Amino acid sequence: MKKMFAMALLAVSVAFSSVYAQTPAPAAGTEKPKKTKKTTDTDAAAKAEKKAAKEKAKAEKDAAASDAEKAAKAKEKADKKAAKEKAKADKDAAATEAEKAAKAKEKADKKAAKEAAKADKAAADAKAATDAEKEAKAKAKADKKAAKAEKDAADAKATAAKDKAEKKAARVSKADDTSPEADAGTRKKVAGEDKVIGKDGKGRSIYLGPRGGQYYINSNGNKTYLDADAKLKI
């Protein structure tokens, strides 16, 4: 800056010297007192210095204005950059939060689906167990009913066979009433569980049948039932 000021001062001095040299001499009687070269140089130097100071002030003002403008532009640029970075950071943060929320929702949905599937399976298992239990009970009931029917049929068959045998024994003629009884081995085999309740007038062992009938076992090994008037009193 000092160098520029010195050069400007030198240029002003040269310019004033040139102008002074070309100025025509004043007419006679109007001459002003001549200035000495020293005075002229001092004035020129003062003017040049004043101009240089003014230009320096202007240059400093312009420089200050330029620096302020540059600073303002730099600040504006920095503000824009900061705003852009903040917007990016906010966007990234929002994206991160959205991603977290999406992952959390996905996790919650999977958990809910898993729990729903578990509940459905538990319900299905419970229903299957109930159905199996019902089926087992129904089968047990049917088996019990079938067993009872089978037993009833067997009992009916046995009763019918016994009735048939008793009727056959009852058809023995009156002449057989005088026949002797069978030996002890035959009597035991034919009578089975029936008990002896006494002896008739001919000394034959009289047995009590399951339905209250009384009989003896003749020599042919058949049961001979007594008439009502011939029954023993028990």
Residue 64: predicted pLDDT:
84
Give residue 1's pLDDT band: very low, low, confident or very high (50, 70, 90). low
Q: CB-side exposure of 35: number of CA atoms within 13 Å?
A: 10
Reported as a single tens digit per residue, the pLDDT across 38-68 is 677 788 888 888 999 999 898 888 888 888 8
Residue 174: predicted pLDDT:
45
Residue 138: predicted pLDDT:
82
Burial class (CB in 10 A: 0-12, 13-18, 19+), 47: middle
Q: In terms of DSSP bridges, do strands 223-225 and 205-208 run parallel, antiparallel, or are they unpaired?
A: unpaired
The better pLDDT of the pair 148, 3 is held by 148
Taking a C-beta distance cutoff of 8 angstroms, is the pair 176, 231 a contact?
no
Burial class (CB in 10 A: 0-12, 13-18, 19+), 179: middle
Lowest mean pLDDT among 11-15, 125-129, 159-163, 214-218: 11-15
The overall average pLDDT reported for the chain is 81
Residue 101: predicted pLDDT:
81
Segment 6-29 shows an average pLDDT of: 55
Reported as a single tens digit per residue, the pLDDT across 162-183 is 666 655 555 544 435 678 999 9
Residue in the structure block whose two tokens are 């920095």? 78
Residue 20 has pLDDT above 50, yes or no: no
Residue 67: predicted pLDDT:
84
d(CA 4, CA 8): 6
Taking a C-beta distance cutoff of 8 angstroms, is the pair 225, 218 a contact?
no
| pTM exceeding 0.85 | no
Residue 10 has pLDDT above 80, yes or no: no
**CA distances to 58, 115, 118 from 102, in Å:** 64, 20, 24
Residue 97: predicted pLDDT:
87
Reported as a single tens digit per residue, the pLDDT across 60-112 is 888 888 888 888 989 999 899 989 999 898 898 888 888 898 898 999 899 98
Give residue 187's pLDDT band: very low, low, confident or very high (50, 70, 90). very high
Element at 206 (helix H, strand E): strand 205-208
Main-chain dihedrals φ then ψ at residue 223, nearest 5 degrees: -80, 130
Residue 199: predicted pLDDT:
94
Segment 144-169 shows an average pLDDT of: 76
Residue 192: predicted pLDDT:
94
